[in-house]
Each structure stands twice: as C-alpha cells, then as structure tokens.
Amino acid sequence: MTTEETSGRTTPRDDPATTLGTAGGVSALSRAERLSVAAVLVLTILAGVAHYAGVASLVAFSLAALALAGLAHVVSFATEQVGSRFGAGVTGVLQSTLGNLPELFVVLFALHAGEVVVAQTSIIGSLFANALLVLGAVIVVGARVADGPVMRFRPRLPQDTATLLLVTVFIIVVVGISLASHDPASGHVGSVSTVAAVALLGVYLAWVVPYLRADSAADKPERDLEAEGPLVPLAISVTLLALGGLGAAFVSDWFVAELRPTIDQLGISEAFAGIVIVAIAGNAVENVAGLVLAAKGKSDLAISVVKNSVAQIAAFLYPVLVLISLLFAHRLTFALDPVYIGALLMSALAVWQITGDGEAAAFEGWALIALYVVLAALTLYE
C-alpha cells in the first residue's frame, strides 16, 4: 500500500491487484483525474460528431484541436506513471511509438489519396517540430526549474539520436545530390529508397534493443531508492497510455480532414499546413508530455520522450512508410526539395551540438525554437 499525495489524494492507494478488482479500476484515479479523463472523452466525442455530421470546417477543426490537446494530457500523465516503474528509456520508446500513430495514419491516408507532397511534408514536419520546437521548449522549461543555469540529462540518448538522424539525413542528401546532378542513379530513386529503408530499419533495431536493456539496468537502482511508488496501478496507466495514443490517431485523422477547407478559408500555404500545423497537431502528445515532465524536473524522462520520437520518426517511421508505400500507386521516397534537405542537415547538426554533452542552457533551447520559427516563416511563402 502506498500513501497518496495531499494534492487531490487524501487516502492511501491500494495495492495494484486489489485496485484492479474495483469497478473498472476507476477508483485508482483521483477525482480531478477522473474529471479530466471525462472531459477529454466528451471533447473527443464532440470532435467525432462534428466531423461526421458535416459541421462547419472551422468549428470541427477547433474541436479536433482541443481533443488532441486533451488526449495529449492523458498520455503525458500515463507516461509519467509508467516511467516511475520502467525508467526513462522504455517509457520514451513506448510513448513515442503511441505518440507517432497520428503521423502514420496521416501519411497512409495521404498516400491513398495521391497526396505525396502532404505525406512527405507531414513526416519532415514532425522531425522539425520535435527536434527544434518541442526539444527547444523542453530545454527552456527544464533549465528554468533545474538546480543551476542548465538542464542536465544522461548524454547517451541525445548522442544516439543525433547518429540516427544523421544517417537518415545522409540518405536524403545523397538522393538529393543524385537528382540535382542527373546522374544515372537518379532514375532509380524508388529502388534506392527501398534499399535505404531496409538499411535504416536494421540500424534502428541494432540500436533500440541494447539501448532499452542498458537503460532499464541503469534506472533500476534509482527506482529502488524512490520512497514513493507510482500513484496509479500499471494496468490502468498502460490502458490510459494506449487509449490516449489511439484516440490521438483518430482525432488527427478528423483534424486533417478538416484541414483543407480550413486552409482555403484562412489562405494558408500547403507547405505551412503540412510542416507546421499538421506536424504540431500530430505531435501534440510529445509537446505536452515533454513540457510537463520538464516542468517537474524529470529531465531524463522529458528528453527521452522527445528524443525517442525524433529517432523513431527518422529511423523507423519514415523507412516503414517508404516500404508500405510499395503497396500504393503513389510511392514515398527519400527525395525532398533542396531547401528541406539543407534544413534537415543543419537541424541534425544543431541538435547534436546542443544536446550531445548531456546539458543544455535555456538560450540553446531558444536557439532551436528560433530555427523552427524561421523555417515556419519560409513555408508561408512556398
């Protein structure tokens, strides 16, 4: 039996096995948490009704955005609870896997509709949003609450993420140079992308399995020394995490469906919509989870959530989608416009420079955010 915190919890928390025996395990949540989950459920239902009932696009778009934010809150709470048991590494991979479901669905739907440009900008937009905007914001918040002028965290994950991102960028740069120079290989970008996708997945698997094992072993002594146990039973935490991620995927689909008419009404460019609006909406989970964890001083877990998402998008989600696109009439490849190739390369170098030593100052976080703002401004005129 663990004692509950005084904020919203005044009674001891039952043993997980006992708690699961109550009515659906709902009693494991505090009153505030139950109200929060209920509010998110209502918003999600309203967003679905607005989408299928043909409500005005701006209204449906706004409801979907609010539902995404609510689901992100649920996932961030569940992530923290799971993290107290399994450590930052396992939690970051699990959370980023569920958090990246919106990108997966958005790209698949776009490819099915023949919107290859939307599919590509959604992926690279997610990379920019996580590696620059979200990571920058997490560093700013983390440095502010840290003991000292900088946010400190274990350096291995940032270094590993930089390596994975640079491998992906290498492929994109090589393909881009081949197309620009019109060499013989430029006529076989599809085949080259397929080979590159398989190679990237091999590198990702070679990294993630040892990383999870080593991270779990490193976190165990720290978890054993913690006086307070998790506040919510594991089964409920995992359920909230899974439902939150799955709900975010469906709501993101509704969000994107209302995006085209909203773009037409507001006069926003397609590039801005794909790289900025869709990317931020699709990464709402990471946005909220990383910031909440950083504000609580949980630097390793906050960095893990964001960095794992970057690693998964670059070295797992992108190549997986390239391979899946073989089943569609329209193929996804690693060929991008030159401006985005340059932006990806410089982003990878900036992330490595700022986080590779295991610490980051607030101004470095602002620097990453500034890079994202400049890129967003450029897409307005594409």
Convert the pLDDT of each residue in 227-284 to its tens digit.
444 567 878 888 887 888 788 778 877 877 887 788 788 888 878 888 888 777 767 6
pLDDT cut 70: percent of the chain above it: 82
Give the pLDDT score at 83.
Answer: 67
Whether the Cβ atoms of residue 182 and residue 67 lie closer than 8 Å to each other: no
DSSP states along 1-14: -BPPPTTT--SPBP
Confidence of residue 7 (pLDDT cuts 50, 70, 90): very low
Q: For the segment 242-257, what is each residue's pLDDT rounded down to a tens digit? A: 888 788 778 877 877 8
* % pLDDT > 90, the chain: 36
**pLDDT tens digits along 335-373:** 999 999 999 999 999 999 999 899 999 999 999 999 999
Q: At what angle do helices 234-257 and 88-99 cross, to 10 degrees?
A: 30
Is residue 224 predicted with pLDDT exceeding 50? Answer: no
Q: Tell me the pTM.
A: 0.78
CA dihedral defined by 265, 39, 42, 254, rounded to 10 degrees?
A: 40
The set of residues, in sequence order, having a beta carbon less than 8 Å from that of 285 and lying 6+ positions away, is 71, 72, 75, 76, 95, 98, 99, 244, 245, 248
Domain ranges in the chain? 30-379
Q: How far apart are CA 382 and CA 369, in angstroms?
A: 20
- Residues listed for the chain: 382
CA distance linking residue 108 with residue 22, whole number of Å: 40
Mean pLDDT of all residues in the chain?
A: 81
Residue type (1 letter), 245: G
